[in-house]
Each structure stands twice: as C-alpha cells, then as structure tokens.
Structure 1
Amino acid sequence: MLEQIPRGGLATALFLAAIVGGSLLGSFAPGTAGLVAEFTDPLILVLVGALFFTLRLDGLSALRRAPQTMLLAIGMNFLVIPFVAFTLTALLPDDALRLGVLIYCLAPCTDWFLGFTRLAGGDTTTGAALIPLQMVLQLALYPLWLALFAGQHVESTMGETATTLLTWFVLPAAIGVAARIALHLIAPAERREQILATTDRSMPLVIAAVILVIFAGNVGTILAAPARFAGVLVVVFLFFVAIFVIGEGVARLFRLRYAEHALLTMTTSARNAPLMLALTTIALPDQPVVHAAIILGMLIEFPHLTVITQLLQRARRHPRAAVSIQG
C-alpha cells in the first residue's frame, strides 16, 4: 500500500509518532485515552474497507515472472515462520503472552514493507503483487491459528468469534470491493486512478490512527506489569534475528539477485501488527494481555526494519565488503 509513498521513512516516522502519542496518552491521561479508544471499532472498519478498496489484483501477473521469489516468500512466511515463532514463544511463561506474540509473528505485512523494500532497492513490482496473495492467506488462516494456538482462550467462544469476524471483516471487505467495482463502472480511468492514489496515500494515516487508539487503550496493561512483558521484547528480538539469518541462508542457497534478496528480507521481517491487533481486539475483546503482547512487537519491528534497510543499502553499495548480507 505504501507503493504510492515517495519515502517509506515518512510512513515509519508517522507510525512511531502514533506509538509514542498513544503511549503518552494512555500513561498520563487514562481518562482521555479511554475516550479515544472508543474510536477503535470504526477505525478498524475503515481500515479493512480501505484495504480492499485499494487492493490491486492487476499486479498478480508479475508473480508469473518471478515464481521462485514468490514461492520463497510464501514458504518463508507461512511455513518457516510459524515453526520458528512457535518454537521461540515456548520460552514465554504465560499463555496469553505466547498467543499475542504468535499472532504478531504469523502475519506478514501487507503495507509498509513495500516502502522499506523500495528504500532498500528491492523488487517492488513482485512485492506489490504479493500483497493481495499474502493478505488473503493470512486472513483465511487467522481462525485456524486461533484454533491451533489459542486453546482455552477461545474454546468456548469460537462460534462467537466466527460471527464477530464475519461482521467486522467480511462486511467491510465486501463494502470495499463493491465500492471498487462501482468506481470502475462509473468513473473514467484517469479519475479512477486519482481516487485510488489518494486513498493509497491516506492509508498510512488510517493505520497510524489505529495504532494510536489501540496503544492508548492498552499501554496501561503493559505499565501495570512491565517485568511480565520484558520477555516479549526478548522473544520478538530473537525472532527477528532468527528470521534474518534464515533469510540470508535462503538467499545464498537460491542465489537470489540483490532486488529479490531485499524483497525476501523485507517481506519476512515486517509483520502486519495493526490488522492482526485490530482483528484480535474484536475476536478476543477480553484479553488485554494478548493485545499488549502484539503491541510490544511493533516496538522492536521498526528499529529492526531501519537497521536491515541500512545493511541492505550498504551491501548494495559495497557488495564485496558486505558478503554476509549480499549472499
């Protein structure tokens, strides 16, 4: 979705500002934070609807030109990463914390990773084509992940969860798709592209708003027991290190070109925390610890993405001096 953003760093700064703003609001003005948190549901509806309104399926043809990169990205995100995440979360002593970190780790990003891919000089054409495919896969698998990993947290509410997800995901998604079809039927091509481009550019603002209100509503849970959540930061850090190392090995094994290598690194490093947090807030409304664990993942993710962007850029400029990154 950030394909339309000229500098991925601007979106990153926006998200970090939302994290800081929401955290400060929740810490120093809990009453106001409670009022702000009431905007979570409508913002989630807007986010899901806008995601599907701007979803571009015409780029899927690019996947035929890069089948190896596509298969490696899907294999890493939906086969390797679940195994690594499940293994590392076993280090956490709390079921709710484990569930939150698992949900965070299991969903590949469908928006800002493309901005970082562009900054690193990666293959953004194939990256854009991966967005709809990975979004559909992660959303289809979300109820399965809950059933497999949530255990007693949702056993008694799976029916209610399915109904809730239907209402809060399928309905806005259908509205977004219907609006896209209507736009195609009634608007000339030039006007249609202008509307889609404007909506694309507004997506970081919507995501930032979601991040802000959810942080404002949940940061109190983290501050109430900081020692309990310290392990989450360690596990998420280890997760990113492990995935980076595995990705480097895969890039070397399959002799990926630099652009393909950068794309694989970014799509396996960036996680879809806002959407997963939004869905989990709806599916498991009475699990603030789960929500807080997902939130903490973002605190590690953005510095991590910034660091690997610099490493990839350095490898691109000095391939001989950065053999370990270039593969």
Structure 2
Amino acid sequence: MTTLEKLYSFIILGAVLFGLGLGQFDIFRTNTEYVITPLLVGMLYFTFLHIPFENIKKSLQNIKFTDTSLLINFVWTPVFAWALASIFLSEYPALSLGFIMLMVTPCTDWYLIFTGIAKGNTALSASILPINLLLQLLLLPVYLLVFSGTAGFVDFSMLAESILLVLLLPLLLAVMTNTFFKDPLKEKIRSTAVNAPVVFLSLAIAAMFASNGHFLLEHLDLLWKLTLPILLFFAINFIIGQKVGSIMKFSYQDKASLSLTTLARNSPIALAVALTAFPDQPFIALTLIVGPLLELPLLAGITQLLLFTRKN
C-alpha cells in the first residue's frame, strides 16, 4: 500500500476543497469541464494496467468461492442497493442513481489491501478481480436500465458512448500495452505509474467541483440523505457475507475474503461513467465521491472486526 493509497480519503477531500476554490474564478469554472474525460481515461488506463487477467483461470479452479461471490455481487447486491435507494432516496432521483451506480460496481484494487490486513486469502481474492471487472463493465448499463430507466435523465445512447470512451478505450489500451510491450518496458511503465490512478482521479474530482461546485454548495443538506443507506449497505452485507461463508463451510481466511470482496465498491469506475454520461447531473457524481469518504473508514473498521472474530 503506497503512501498515496493510505491517504486516499484525505487526498479526495483535498481535491474537493481545491476544486471549490478554483470554481471561484470564472476562467476555471467555465473551462475545467473539458479536462474531466481525458483525466478519467488516463486514470482507468493506469488502473487497468495492473489487472491480472491471467488470474481468470485460477478463479475458475475454486468454483464454490467464485460462484458465491459472483451471486452476492451481481445478483443480491444490485437488488439490495435498489431497495435501499427506493426506501431512502426515492425523492432524489440523482442521488438514488448515484447510489445504485456505486453499489453495483465491486472494487478492483484496495479490497486486496484490506483482505491482507484481515489475514484473509489474498490470492483467492485476487483471482476473482478480473471477472469482477469484466462483469461490472458489461452489467452496469443493464442495472441502470432495469433499476433507473424511468428516472427521466438517463440517456442510454450517451451512456453507451461514455462506456465505450472512458471504460473500453482505456481497457483496450491497457490490454495492448500488456500484450505487445516487452517485459522490461512493461514493468517500468507499471512501476512508475503505480500512483497515477490516484493523481488522475484527484485532478478529475477537482475539475468537477470547479465546474459545478457552486451548485453543490447550495444543496449540501442532501449529503446527509446518503449516510444511512450507505451504513446499512455495509452492515447488512457484512452479516450476509459472514453467514453465507459459514453455510458454505469456508475457512476464516476465505470468509474474510468473501466479506471484503463483496463489500468494497469501485467508485472510480462508476464516477468515470457518471461524469461523462450525466454531465448535467452533478449530484450523481457527488454521491460517488461521498461514498468512498465513508467506505474506507468502514472497511478499516470491518478488518479489525474480522481480526477480532478470528482471535475469539
């Protein structure tokens, strides 16, 4: 875990404040929106560079764990997220859509760090990573269609275009880099760009707040609406993950891996889609920024709870 990753929450909060400051000047408020998409493409390219797609074969060797985690992540969780959004956010369609987008995208990076801290089966968690990534890219438009198709501001042609641009383009470039570049050069790119995703994401968030911060500051009271459904999502899904792991007779290590694989969310990917597909709905993006500010402390607490259960 690099220093930047340890300080992720503080860096994101700093980017928000920096963007709000830039937004006080007309030159930044009117022009920063044009750099958001290129920054997001760069962020996801460097993120995808480190995805071990060769591990797909390994994940298929542990059918019981793979099937269990996929069912929780891609069947139970979308329905549960929709239910929470319907109960707590039905009066705020943009917040509801942002909440659903956050919760239906499983994490592809820092959940491995928390799995290691909790003494879980990190190798098993890593094996499921590429499948989680590919499925969320394919299923995100489906979830939005099924759960939010009547929201009014969901333009599915723009959504498809944004997925092609900010998700599939960097994924293709990353696969080409890993396939055609020779090992010394490929490893040099990977090692020198290890912190690039955090940097690019922070700049994109700063640009978003510089462009729309004035509007968001007028409605900060709505942020409190997100707190309860986010807390309930993590609390209930943690209990379900532990119960399912016990029913499946998983070891402690595999149960810890299952819990963290099905709890951690992939806010950067969801944010990339939101900023390009819904540029006139800043509250969707705001939900995806607030989410990790709550998520990371919650995951840290859950790892300590897992270690406590292991000791006892």
Q: State the alpha-carbon separation in 2 of the partners of residues 310 and 250 from structure 1.
A: 20
Which of 85, 94, 97 is equivalent to 2:95? Answer: 97
- Alpha-carbon deviations, 1:85-112, whole Å to 9, x = none? 1111112121111111111111100111
- Following TM superposition, by how much is the alpha carbon of 1:263 offset from its aligned partner in structure 2, in angstroms? 0.9
Relative to structure 1, is the Cα distance of residues 171 and 157 closer, same or farther in structure 2, using a 3 angstrom cutoff? same
- Following TM superposition, by how much is the alpha carbon of 1:125 offset from its aligned partner in structure 2, in angstroms? 1.0
CA contact (8 A) 1:77 1:268 kept: yes
Secondary structure at the residue paired with 2:279? Answer: coil
Secondary structure at the residue paired with 2:113? Answer: helix
**May I ask how many residue pairs the two structures share in their alignment?**
307
CA contact (8 A) 1:22 1:216 kept: no
The equivalent residue for 2:229 is 235
Matched AA of 2:97: L
Q: State the alpha-carbon separation in 2 of the partners of residues 245 and 196 from structure 1.
A: 37
Which sits farther off after the overlay, 241-250 or 152-161? Answer: 152-161
- Alpha-carbon deviations, 1:26-83, whole Å to 9, x = none? 4444236746655321111112222333322222232144221111111111111112
The residue correspondences of 1:168-317 to structure 2 (distance < 5 A) are 168-183=166-181, 187=182, 189=183, 192-200=186-194, 202-214=196-208, 217=211, 220-316=214-310
Which sits farther off after the overlay, 89-98 or 152-161? Answer: 152-161
Q: Is 1:136 the counterpart of 2:129 in the alignment?
A: no
Relative to structure 1, is the Cα distance of residues 51 and 12 closer, same or farther in structure 2, using a 3 angstrom cutoff? closer
Which sits farther off after the overlay, 62-71 or 152-161? Answer: 152-161
The equivalent residue for 1:50 is 46
Secondary structure at the residue paired with 1:107? Answer: coil
- Alpha-carbon deviations, 1:102-128, whole Å to 9, x = none? 111111001111111111111111211
The equivalent residue for 1:325 is none
Relative to structure 1, is the Cα distance of residues 96 and 117 closer, same or farther in structure 2, using a 3 angstrom cutoff? same
CA contact (8 A) 1:104 1:271 kept: yes
Matched AA of 2:45: G
The residue correspondences of 1:140-155 to structure 2 (distance < 5 A) are 140-153=138-151
Which of 10, 16, 22 is equivalent to 2:15? Answer: 22
Which sits farther off after the overlay, 127-136 or 47-56? Answer: 47-56
Query: Runs of 5+ in structure 1 lacking a partner?
Result: 321-327
Relative to structure 1, is the Cα distance of residues 244 and 26 closer, same or farther in structure 2, using a 3 angstrom cutoff? same
CA contact (8 A) 2:121 2:253 kept: yes
The residue correspondences of 1:150-161 to structure 2 (distance < 5 A) are 150-153=148-151, 157-161=155-159
Secondary structure at the residue paired with 2:250? Answer: coil
Relative to structure 1, is the Cα distance of residues 13 and 216 closer, same or farther in structure 2, using a 3 angstrom cutoff? farther
Matched AA of 2:83: T
Which sits farther off after the overlay, 169-178 or 105-114? Answer: 169-178
Query: Runs of 5+ in structure 2 lacking a partner?
Result: none
Matched AA of 1:67: I
The equivalent residue for 1:323 is none
State the Cα RMSD in Å.
2.4
Secondary structure at the residue paired with 1:39? Answer: helix
Which sits farther off after the overlay, 75-84 or 224-233? Answer: 224-233
Matched AA of 1:63: S
Q: State the alpha-carbon separation in 1 of the partners of residues 50 and 296 from structure 2.
A: 24
The equivalent residue for 1:79 is 75
Q: State the alpha-carbon separation in 1 of the partners of residues 154 and 290 from structure 2.
A: 27
Q: State the alpha-carbon separation in 1 of the partners of residues 95 and 239 from structure 2.
A: 25
The equivalent residue for 1:31 is 24
Secondary structure at the residue paired with 1:259? Answer: helix
Relative to structure 1, is the Cα distance of residues 304 and 140 closer, same or farther in structure 2, using a 3 angstrom cutoff? same
- Following TM superposition, by how much is the alpha carbon of 1:279 offset from its aligned partner in structure 2, in angstroms? 1.0
Relative to structure 1, is the Cα distance of residues 279 and 260 closer, same or farther in structure 2, using a 3 angstrom cutoff? same
Relative to structure 1, is the Cα distance of residues 267 and 212 closer, same or farther in structure 2, using a 3 angstrom cutoff? farther
Relative to structure 1, is the Cα distance of residues 254 and 215 closer, same or farther in structure 2, using a 3 angstrom cutoff? farther
| TM-score, scaled to structure 1 | 0.84
Matched AA of 1:251: G
Q: State the alpha-carbon separation in 1 of the partners of residues 260 and 4 from structure 2.
A: 15
Q: State the alpha-carbon separation in 1 of the partners of residues 4 and 230 from structure 2.
A: 22
